[in-house]
Amino acid sequence: MDNVLKDIIDSPKLPDYVDELQQYLLLEEAKRTAFYENVSDDVKAEFINGEVICSSPARDKHTVIVYNLSSIFIRFARKNKAGVVRGKKSLVRLRRNDFEPDVCFF
């Protein structure tokens, strides 16, 4: 067990910590819901650790690299019938964070 967790578990304030964490997670989920209600297709936005992160447009070099990687992954996936490739505007929802990666291979 992580030392931080051990200290918290051993603390007489454990119930207070649990309550505070539950309230934090409820607030974070409300922020996530608002994020999904307000996110638009014309903005690259992600939900990371309870905060909305917006990215500026990519530089040309980045765009070319993403295109080349996507092309390689797509050819591989089709040839091997090994999944699907998604790119921009594919919001990947994880347990706490929602990322908009440049290239996804599922």
pLDDT at position 43, please? 79
Report the distance separating Cα 3 and Cα 103, nearest Å.
37
Mean pLDDT of 7-11: 91
The pLDDT, as a whole number, for residue 12 is 95
DSSP-derived secondary structure for 37-60: HH--TTS-EEEETTEEEE-PPPPH
pLDDT at 27: 96
Place of tokens 């980045």: 62
pLDDT in tens, 20-74: 999 999 999 999 999 989 888 777 888 999 999 888 777 889 889 988 999 999 9
* pLDDT for residue 1: 64
Whether the predicted pLDDT of 14 surpasses 70:
yes
